[in-house]
Chains A and B, each alone.
Chain A
């Protein structure tokens, strides 16, 4: 009976993923997934509700309450941190369960190895996610990459050695080592690589759950874990290919730390909000390229205001979203959706790149490396070969940015000194609000 109920929840999870393919049906998809989860949980009790004491139910109630409170309070700009925390919780849960199973000495060898695996991956996900969240909040920086690289190598060797020798209390050692490994690995990876890291940790949290399913012989854990694992892997690979780097290169860390000559051959053309407003009012087509700077400045409402102003003047507005813009997959889309920008107006790199040459004004808001033409032209550049938004093809480019400082890759962006580029040196939110105000005077 329980098994057939699990089958239904597995079908619900799969159906949910299917309905997730369109924004219009995705809300229903989430409800289906919730249904699948509730069914799986009830089936797991197998009608033996009396076998559980009050503490157990209390823990579930309090944790569920906490989950609701946190998820309702969090701001959309903090989504990467929240997903990071949830990745860590999922991994930590699998780690804890695997540890308890390992303390049960009757495990057969295959289950024993799977339990070790589940615990290592789970604990790694836990500590790695916490570091990722700390990094996203800007609490960590300037670590010596080489030292930590060596350290994590030694740690990895230690885990393997313990796995082979299987000395007493080895599980505790493995926990400590996995914790350290998670910390040392993620510490090395820079902020703009976080979309990859978050997607990767998401995948690991699924894989840990899947492995836990092998230990407790639960098909639903295996299926659900595998689905999450696959989802995370796909997103990880998508993010990597959007940066033209391999997953190994990203996880090795230390990107953008090499010092490169960042001198500009000439000064950029600086402009004013009034000037941009005039230029925009003569345009027929405008493409807005949002980047992490928009999220940092919480500028999405200002973007919406400007969009409304432009649309009221019958100027076409589209949004070009690079796959790795922001700090997690789809980060920009969520921020724009938050301020009611239609998802029909959001375009992917493949869909919009051919349109830039016919665009009057491109407005780059807090994005840098994803519009750097060196990715096309300079073979020595660290970003060479990365697919970029070809904004330099547009008739006029306006970049709203606080300074000429390089982006994550640490390299100069020749786009800023192009003949057809104007720079508005301002905080994204302030700059956009000033442009909207100037429109009233135009």
Chain B
């Protein structure tokens, strides 16, 4: 367990560093689409919903809660990316 846990921690640290480095370079003009876009990425929890759903199909309560989570995450992903696209479209036509 410890080895895997440490390995995951390492990945977390690396991802945080990369994220920090890249995002520091994003100009103020794009901060709103950055938020809505990264927001959409946080809907990645959908993956967890997909992974655990087959284990809970027999328990109606847990199944419902997973479905709520899946629904929230899906709205988050689709809505987030779609509104980010809308915003960036406005910045694109200036080019």
Contact = CB atoms under 8 A, between A and B. Distances in A.
B39 A97 contact: no
A67 B77 contact: yes
Interface string B18-46: 11101111111111111111111111111
Nearest to A101: B52
Contact of A20 (B30, B42, B55, B80): B30
A92 B39 CA distance: 13
Interface residues of A, number: 110
Interface in A167-223: 198-199, 202, 205-206, 208-210, 212-223
A331 interface: yes
B39 A86 contact: yes
B73 to A, nearest CB: 4
A83 B34 contact: no
B44 A60 contact: no
B79 A209 contact: no
A235 to B, nearest CB: 6
B74 A59 contact: yes
A230 to B, nearest CB: 3
Contacts of B1: 108, 110
A338 B82 contact: no
Interface residues of B, number: 79
A330 B31 contact: yes
A17 B33 CA distance: 11
B45 A227 contact: no
A108 B5 CA distance: 12
Interface stretch (A39-47, A148-156, A395-403): A39-47
Given A44-B51, A96-B68, A231 B23 contact: yes
A31 B85 CA distance: 8
A292 interface: no
A389 to B, nearest CB: 13
A404 B31 CA distance: 31
A90 interface: yes
B19 A93 contact: no
A381 interface: no
Contacts of B52: 97, 100-101, 216
A227 B15 contact: yes
Contacts of A59: 67, 70-71, 74
Interface in B48-95: 48-57, 62, 65-95
Nearest to A20: B26
A328 B90 CA distance: 18
A103 interface: yes
Contact of B81 (A30, A52, A217, A342): A30
Interface in A26-75: 26-27, 29-31, 33-34, 37, 40-41, 44-45, 48, 51-53, 55-56, 59-60, 62-64, 66-68, 70-72, 74
A230 B17 CA distance: 8
Contacts of A209: 42-45
A44 B50 contact: yes
Given A60-B71, A334-B33, 6 more contacts: A52-B54, A68-B78, A202-B35, A224-B42, A228-B38, A343-B91
14 contacts: A23-B95, A29-B88, A30-B84, A37-B41, A44-B50, A71-B82, A86-B43, A92-B72, A93-B72, A97-B66, A108-B1, A198-B35, A216-B48, A330-B29
Which 6 residue pairs of A and B lie closest in terms of their CB atoms, listed nearest first? A330-B31, A67-B79, A230-B19, A96-B69, A67-B78, A329-B31
